[in-house]
Amino acid sequence: MTVPTDIRVYVNERGVSVPHGALAIDAVRALFPTHADDIMAGTSRLTDSRGLPIPESTPLSTGAIFRVVPVRDRLEVPE
């Protein structure tokens, strides 16, 4: 039996195959290089399928689902 050299993950509803040992940012960069740059610059954030933020250094597992979302400033609420 041969072990696959790539795993399949999803970023913004698009599938991509990446090598075993790749990180979440690697999957983003494979599909959307500009989005990866935005994540590294802090103007976008990487979330899991539930919308919870995850570090870009998260190791990948087969079938993982990620989304890239813009970082929004919080509104200041006057006291």
* Mean pLDDT calculated for residue range 35-63: 95
Write down the domain spans for the chain: 6-70
Q: Provide the β-strand partners of residue 18.
A: 7
pLDDT by residue (tens digit) across 15-46?
999 999 999 999 999 999 999 999 999 999 99
**What is the pTM (predicted TM-score) of this model?**
0.84
In the CATH scheme, what is the code of domain 6-70? Answer: 3.10.20.90
Max distance between CA atoms of the chain, in angstroms, equals 65
Strand runs labelled E in 1-79: 6-11, 14-19, 44-48, 65-70
Kindly indicate the confidence band of residue 74, based on its pLDDT and cuts at 50, 70 and 90. low
- What is the C-alpha separation between 17 and 5, in angstroms, rounded? 9
